[in-house]
Structure 1
């Protein structure tokens, strides 16, 4: 049996002018030196993405193919596994802000990413988005602005996701519903007899087959006790994916997947089942549909491990953890926030005073 091969991580590149580490410049295909401004282009791969056959990876030996070793740090507070670039002088968890101990780093194999969506906005742009968002918050404590906008707590993070492709075939048995209306005479709330249209449905048997290609089913590949990425910002334009190159990771934190390929595949089959059900209902037609039974089969299944960009800011207020997230591709923002008790109290009090004055004047 052929021995599985483990690929070695690419070495970090240093500036030819001053020797500093080169980091990725968001929105470009270049790595740059933040000290002297020197830039180098990231080589573009002509063969594009490599879609990997799924089932060899679900076997014990196959799971190590196309793998590499990466240095990981585990956050004991929230459970996140993250790779922190050497140029980060202050090592804190991107989710909860707890210190990470370099001596606790360990080597672990991971399935090499097949693609990455590089950051399209830089840290300064993310900082302005955070500032504008915080400034618009109602009833926020006064010291929130200062704490939440501290740049040292804002980190660029690449999130791991699985994508799955497959040919889908499904046969189904169901019913097609067509609406019709009956006219009835009923008594309304005032006791008068009125005419009312009542909608009813005639059901007809239906059966058939559907098939098609399911492309890039996106499945989250990490989970922690806290710091979940809000669904509001978890939308990326996958057309901007680039073939993986470690240069895109320079200067950013990379989170390792904690949801296994097998678990991700099971989730993707649930998504595929929902897709098949929608296709069946579209095929049935009519005004409404029922699918009573369906036999779904997937074939030619492939997958990719991809990395998607977000900016994360962790903040503690009165002993509680709060997180703010910005989509690193489109700038969408979402976050949790504390409320000022006194601001709310005085706003309610002011409202009651205004209502009281209105009631008093109305009685004159």
Structure 2
């Protein structure tokens, strides 16, 4: 495969002044930071097709992708020349700071994005949501909102895989139902008393369950895998807003090429679907308790899409310590780390101890 020439980056010059346009989250258009001109960009949905899940074949090709080759990038804004990785989706010039989009970067991984969910939350919007979130925890220090100093705030498109599958499960198991019988026992003083003891009546049951799983999301960024819990908290996207992939949506933003391939992600999605089927079959089995539940799940009509979804990633400093948080670039949902106030924690624990002591005192007075 002949590597693309990175001098041929996406250029979207302003019709008024010729400066490079960027995609504005506020205006949902291409916008010029110099003269304020805006231009429409189509939010089409004609290419969002599901691909048959032949991931084992695709994975065999990934090893030959030239993801680490270097190519010369010539900045169209200032003319500076720098070396960048072939698969760099967005290129920021180290000299003038302009952001450029490499339209061929996604192709180096063989599976191009089918769609993109454009940013709706701007930098100012992400900052405002951070301020609201950081001071909303009662246990946080009182001066956290004023004292938290934002470090770097990055708006970045994160690679995801989405999977569809039809699941059909057969299940067998035993449902246990509690009942109680009176039993005479001796208490601590040797007196005979009657207690109600619990028993379990077991019933063998079997059945089947089927469901269609649509757009099961798995993140394809290994760099964020250490923070996957936080990412999951902010990954409730409204998928109906996904549009056809157009590299112009990346203008002015950062983007990442997937580092978790289709095979690994598909296996994770399959495990998630099987786990959901297990829970669904358990609910159908019913009972107060269960034992021996066995579920045989078959997946058919498996398909996938590769998408880019928007996320704000940031770190902030409070009292010299670094904390991290994320903002959903579409909905504005926030998740991350917040420090706790030592005196508020002490007050909460002390109040709990006093409450327990009061309950014990009232109990002893009866």
Normalising by structure 2, report the TM-score: 0.70
Cα RMSD after superposing both structures: 4.3
**Structure 1 residue runs without a partner (length 5+):** 74-80, 92-105, 353-364
Residue 54 of structure 1 pairs with residue 60 of structure 2: no
Structure-1 residue corresponding to 2:90: 84
Bigger Cα displacement from structure 2, 308-317 vs 324-333 = 308-317
Give the direction of change, closer, same or farther, for the CA distance of 1:197–1:88 in structure 2 (3 Å limit): farther
CA contact (8 A) 1:10 1:246 kept: no
For residue 326 of structure 2, give the secondary structure of its aligned residue in structure 1. strand
For residue 272 of structure 2, give the secondary structure of its aligned residue in structure 1. helix
> How far has the Cα of 1:160 moved from its partner?
1.4
Structure 2 CA distance for aligned equivalents of residues 72 and 287 of structure 1: 62
> How far has the Cα of 1:318 moved from its partner?
8.4
* Residue deviations 1:236-265 (CA, integer Å, cap 9, x gap): 222332222222222111122211111111
* Residue deviations 1:51-107 (CA, integer Å, cap 9, x gap): 11111663457669xx9999999xxxxxxx96434478787xxxxxxxxxxxxxx99
Structure-1 residue corresponding to 2:333: 332
Structure 1 CA distance for aligned equivalents of residues 236 and 66 of structure 2: 28
CA contact (8 A) 2:149 2:318 kept: no
Structure-1 residue corresponding to 2:129: 129
Structure-1 residue corresponding to 2:241: 240
Structure-1 residue corresponding to 2:34: 35
Give the direction of change, closer, same or farther, for the CA distance of 1:187–1:307 in structure 2 (3 Å limit): farther
Give the direction of change, closer, same or farther, for the CA distance of 1:109–1:300 in structure 2 (3 Å limit): same
Give the direction of change, closer, same or farther, for the CA distance of 1:347–1:181 in structure 2 (3 Å limit): closer
Bigger Cα displacement from structure 2, 204-213 vs 224-233 = 224-233
> How far has the Cα of 1:326 moved from its partner?
1.3
Structure-2 residue corresponding to 1:249: 250
| 1:82-121 equivalence runs, <5 A | 83-86=89-92, 109-110=108-109, 111-121=111-121
For residue 213 of structure 1, give the secondary structure of its aligned residue in structure 2. strand
CA contact (8 A) 1:181 1:200 kept: yes
> How far has the Cα of 1:165 moved from its partner?
0.7
Structure-1 residue corresponding to 2:219: 220
> How far has the Cα of 1:319 moved from its partner?
8.1
CA contact (8 A) 1:173 1:208 kept: yes
For residue 54 of structure 2, give the secondary structure of its aligned residue in structure 1. helix
Give the direction of change, closer, same or farther, for the CA distance of 1:141–1:281 in structure 2 (3 Å limit): closer
Structure-2 residue corresponding to 1:297: 298
Structure 2 CA distance for aligned equivalents of residues 70 and 34 of structure 1: 33
Structure 1 CA distance for aligned equivalents of residues 70 and 321 of structure 2: 26
Structure-2 residue corresponding to 1:361: none
Structure 2 CA distance for aligned equivalents of residues 320 and 72 of structure 1: 36
Structure 1 CA distance for aligned equivalents of residues 95 and 143 of structure 2: 30
Structure 2 CA distance for aligned equivalents of residues 217 and 83 of structure 1: 25
**Structure 2 residue runs without a partner (length 5+):** 72-86, 98-104, 351-366
CA contact (8 A) 1:118 1:308 kept: yes
> How far has the Cα of 1:42 moved from its partner?
1.8
Normalising by structure 1, report the TM-score: 0.71
Give the direction of change, closer, same or farther, for the CA distance of 1:126–1:172 in structure 2 (3 Å limit): same
| 1:304-323 equivalence runs, <5 A | 304-315=305-316, 321-323=322-324
CA contact (8 A) 2:114 2:306 kept: yes
For residue 58 of structure 1, give the secondary structure of its aligned residue in structure 2. helix
For residue 279 of structure 2, give the secondary structure of its aligned residue in structure 1. helix
| 1:62-73 equivalence runs, <5 A | none
Structure 2 CA distance for aligned equivalents of residues 190 and 128 of structure 1: 66
Give the direction of change, closer, same or farther, for the CA distance of 1:205–1:142 in structure 2 (3 Å limit): closer
* Residue deviations 1:258-310 (CA, integer Å, cap 9, x gap): 11111111111111211221232233344444453332221111111112222
